[in-house]
Structure 1
Amino acid sequence: TYPQLISVFLRFGLVDREDGRDRAVRPLGHQKQWISKARSHPLKPPSLGSELKRLHKPRICHSTRELDGLKIAIVRTTLHRGSGQAVHIKEIGRRLVQRGHEVTIFAREVFEDLDSLPSRRVSSSFDGVPFIRHLGFTMKAGVLIQGYDLVHTQYHPDIFVGNYLHSIKNIPHVFTYHGFAPIRLWVNPMQKLKMIDHKAGTFPSLRAGVDQIISVSEFLKNELTSRFMIRPEKIQVIYNGVDPERFRPEVNGEEMRKRYGLAHRPVVLFLGRLAPYKGIQYLIKAIPSILKQIPEAIFLIAGSARYDTARIGSMLATASMRRAVIFTDFVPESEVPKIYAACDLFCYPSLWEGFGLTPAEAQACGKPVVAFRHCALPEVVAHGETGILVKPGDHEELANAVVELLSDPARMVEMGRRGHRRVKRLFSWDVAADRTVSVYERAISIHGMQC
């Protein structure tokens, strides 16, 4: 199996075992030197057969321990700035520390400010094809993660690290499922291949080597149980949260309005990754219909471009459309609440969402939301109460909903109030952290019974 393959590599000296220093995985050429030294050494190196026999010996479980002050390893290969997963890890990690637990984040690349959370960089000299790169990351992380009570993984190939530590080192493993956007929604061929690789590696790994799964929505839990036959009792739904101190109706948006020359015009905001599955193309298609009825409207498109975005600018066909659209590029974390405060309405025509963190944040700031009615978005946006949900992929319905709300300021204000109250009630990082600790306790208990 994958974990056993890694263990053989570790046993035969392909990876440095030194604790305290972040050493790279040794290249395969190092084996020639190792064999040369081994020939002159009085102790024989272990044979492959004896090593595999050792792996099949029954595991000895550690005695039950108190669950106060857990030592937790959170693994994520890459933490992209502003991504939902980076926010999730940072917010949960910070609150786990506040509750007396020791948290360390293990990652290959970190582009996000982790608010002083301890982190270890998992460097590896293996690169090239995804399998080799993932193998290198898993091997090195498996060496670095020593003496932890639990490993918590978030995505692919992080799950391989948890599977290895679960199977070989007897460490309980919790996996948070954030979901994968369908392959058909990607335009870039390389991105399609990447998503195929992610899915092919993740779903088989969920069946063994994972004690508990956290799903960030009921939609994703249903996907796991109905499409991938994961037992429901193995999955706990814990919604993402919103920081009520940062995202609140009292935040002043005048600074952003002045910066982008918005004056007192009605502002429609999109904030998110400029990728095809986020549906920015449908908002752009809706703009002409909106401008016909509300010519003074302006559209603020905020977010960084990572995939398939070269055609977005070319979609702004007319001069009036170009004058009505402002691209801000990446918005620093400190300015995100201000840009929500600067808008009148948040439009989020995403084609796929495992949760929908930005619509939740917008509602926390007292803004109504227009979005597509599918995936997890109906769990985040209450149709007719905190916003309007329309048929997925229908840019005319999207335009009509935007016009309907912009034409009724009093209704937008009331929806904003309801949205703020609903988010405060349902989407709390403090509640999410407490429930995550409960899942940890359950995973440790289940893992002990399985040994």
Structure 2
Amino acid sequence: MKITIITTNGITTEFNSWPERLQSRGLASRGHTVRAFTYAGTKSWNRERQEVIDGVAVQRLKQSWFSLELWQILLWGSPRPDVVHMQHLSNQFAFCAALACNLRGIPVVITPQGPFHDPFLVADRDRPYNAPPRYQDIIMNPLQLIPALLRRFKPKRHLRNYLTHAPLKMADRIIASSRHERGVWIKLGLNPAKVVIAPNVIDPDWLKGVKAAPKVGQPQILYLGQLKYRKGFDLLARAIPLVVKEIPEARFIFAGHSPIHQYELLKLVEEGGVKDKVVFPGQLSDEEKAAYFLASDLYVLPTRYEGFGIPLLEAMSAGCPVVSTNIPVVNEIIQDGENGLLVPPEDPVGLAKAIVRVLQDETLSNHLREGGRKAVVAYYTPLLIDQLEQLYKEIIAEKRPPNWRTVLRLDRRTH
């Protein structure tokens, strides 16, 4: 098959674990012709406008809601793709790509990657469960713009709302990464028959050749993720003094990218008198991340929201016990007491108790390690590629004719 993947920044040589990289590499390894379009940004991993990564021809285009270059490629380019697969709801290429595909009769698949990252759907993306989703605010066809403008005259915001969500309506399939996410899209009005579940995955060989990093303490507790309220770094910071009271020798590693709240984290550990118990290695490469998972005695993710939770899979595959929060999506991956422990959200005391429990109970720790290794097998890349190949064959067989009217349909269902 000739498959085109359209994404934001996910196909790079620096990050092997991002979903688009695994997807494109897996499909190319099966003999498919895979082409990818992504943003031409200023970040270090976007240096080359055109390059080949894992047998995938990657072309980087200027970020725009109305990319003339992408429009021309999809509408008139040769060879014509058999299917176009777009990643991320916030993808600015999605609208013009979906429209061009509809006009040319090319099947479209969209993987939104986490509905509650959407600022139009939730009031607070760091704490999306604090208020009901605003399904009524989502604009998926142009005639919805008129009443929206009458209610609140913010034309740029409403247009962006439409451009973000209209592709969902034009897609032949929406891929949700969890049961929870599928439910969100159905409540939004999408046709249940068009919304399928395919969880994100990890490369089964991602630990190959990696050695454990030197320990900074015994025991060593790892937090790996963005320093954002959504990830709950502040909850772990408040739990540390309670853990140290029981296990004085414990050391905590806070690693990850986008450290926008690092000052507050430092303030919290200073106020708790545990600054000397915390290490900040900064942003890690994929190999460094794997080394820290292998070296750590526990991985803690006190998250307030997860679109999926790939680090949970990575920790389990590395044999690192997991403690996380009992929220949607996470509780689809972690079975409490079997492959990890779940604690109530917004509960640093409960979090501390769970951390201490795992660290002091070797039998429990070993049980969680073994349970994690068994559970993660269901999230390996080959299974996703099998599912994608079958999905692509199904929508290609449907032989959808070119349809410009899809863009103007007034109903709220995809088909």
TM-score, normalised to structure 2, is 0.79
Separation of aligned partners in 2, 1:438 and 1:320: 55
1:57-91 superposed Cα distances (whole Å, 9 cap, x missing partner): xxxxxxxxxxxxx1111111333879999711111
Q: What is the rounded CA distance, in whole Å, between the counterparts of 1:427 and 1:197 in structure 2?
A: 37
Contact 2:11–2:38 under 8 Å retained in 1:
no
Percent identity of equivalent pairs: 26
Residue 103 (structure 1) aligns with: 34
Distance in structure 2 (CA, Å) of the matches to 1:328 and 1:432: 32
Query: What is the aligned partner in structure 2 of residue 430 from structure 1?
Result: 382
Q: Given the superposition, is the C-alpha separation of residues 80 and 416 from structure 1 closer, same or farther in structure 2, using an over 3 Å criterion?
A: same
Q: Which structure has more RCO (C-alpha within 8 Å, separation ≥ 6)? A: 2
Q: Whole-Å Cα distance in 2 between the matches of residues 404 and 450 of structure 1?
A: 59
Give ranges in structure 1 of 5+ residues lacking alignment: 1-69, 125-132, 188-192
Q: Distance in 1 between matches of 2:13 and 2:287?
A: 11
Q: CA deviation at 1:112?
A: 5.0
Aligned residues of 1:86 and 1:112 also touching (Cα < 8 A):
no
Aligned counterpart, 2:356: 403
SS of 1:203's partner is: helix
Q: CA deviation at 1:197?
A: 8.3
1:153 equivalent among 77, 86, 95: 86
Contact 2:339 2:371 in 1 (8 A): yes
Deviates more, 1:157-166 or 1:288-297: 157-166
**Residues 299 and 326 of structure 1 are in contact (CA less than 8 Å); yes or no, is this contact kept in structure 2?**
yes
2:302 is aligned with 1:349: yes
Match of 1:21 in 2: none
State the distance in 2 between where 1:82 and 1:412 align.
35
CA contact (8 A) 2:36 2:58 kept: yes
Task: Tell which structure's C-alpha radius of gyration is larger.
Answer: 1
Classify the secondary structure of the residue corresponding to 1:274. coil
Q: Quick one: which amino acid aligns to residue 369 of structure 2?
A: G
The SS at the match of 1:79 is coil
1:448 to 400, 408, 414: 400
- Residues 200 and 379 in structure 2, CA contact (< 8 A), matched pair in contact too: yes
Q: For residue 298 of structure 1, what is the aligned residue in structure 2? A: 251
In the superposition, relative to structure 1, how do residues 306 and 442 fare at CA in structure 2: closer, same or farther (>3 Å)? Answer: farther
- C-alpha distance in 2 between matches for 1:247 and 1:423: 13
Distance 1:382 1:233, change over 3 A: same
Gap change, CA 1:308 and 1:297, over 3 Å in 2: closer
1:210 aligns with 171
- Alignment partner, residue 77 of structure 1: 8
Alpha carbons of 1:342 and 1:98: their partners in 2 closer, same or farther (altered >3 Å)?
same
1:170 Cα deviation after fit: 2.2
For the residues of structure 2 that align with 1:283 and 1:219, how far apart are their CA atoms?
25
> Is 1:312–2:265 an aligned residue pair?
yes
Change (3 A) 1:326 1:183: farther
Offset, 1:205: 3.0
Q: Which runs of 5+ in 2 are unaligned?
A: 47-52, 128-153, 404-415
How far residue 388 of structure 1 moved from its aligned partner, in angstroms, is 0.8
Q: Which residue of 2 aligns with 1:62?
A: none
| Contact 1:216–1:238, Cα closer than 8 Å, also in 2 | yes
Q: 1:301, 1:380 → 2: CA distance?
A: 23
Q: How far is the alpha carbon of 1:200 from its aligned partner?
A: 5.2
**Partners of 2:342 and 2:101 in 1: CA distance:** 42
Mapping 1:312-351, distance limit 5 Å: 312-318=265-271, 320-351=273-304
Look up the equivalent residue of 1:94 and give its one-letter code: R
SS at match of 1:141: helix
SS in structure 1 of the partner of residue 189 of structure 2: coil
Q: Residue by residue, what CA displacement relative to the aligned partner does 1:345-403 show, whole Å, maximum 9, x if unpaired?
A: 11001111121100111011111111110120011111110111111111111111111
| Distance 1:142-1:306 versus aligned 2 partners, 3 A rule | farther
Task: Name the residue aligned to 2:18.
Answer: 87
Match of 2:214 among 230, 234, 256: 256
Which of 142, 163, 175 is matched with 2:71 structurally? 142
- Deviating more after overlay: 145-154 vs 326-335: 145-154
* Structure 1 residues 401 and 319: CA distance shift in structure 2, 3 A: closer
Distance 1:77 1:313, change over 3 A: same
Of residues 354, 357, 363 in structure 1, which corresponds to 2:316? 363
Check if 1:223 corresponds to 2:184.
Answer: yes
**Structure 1 Cα separation of the partners of residues 305 and 163 of structure 2:** 21
Cα contact 2:126–2:304 (8 A) shared by 1: no
SS at match of 1:134: coil
Matches of 2:365 and 2:206, distance apart in 1? 21
1:414 paired with 2:367, answer yes
SS in 1 for 2:196: strand
Deviation at 1:449, TM superposition (A): 6.4
Describe the shift of the 1:81–1:293 C-alpha distance in structure 2 as closer, same or farther (beyond 3 A): farther
In 2, Cα distance between equivalents of 1:108 and 1:252? 34
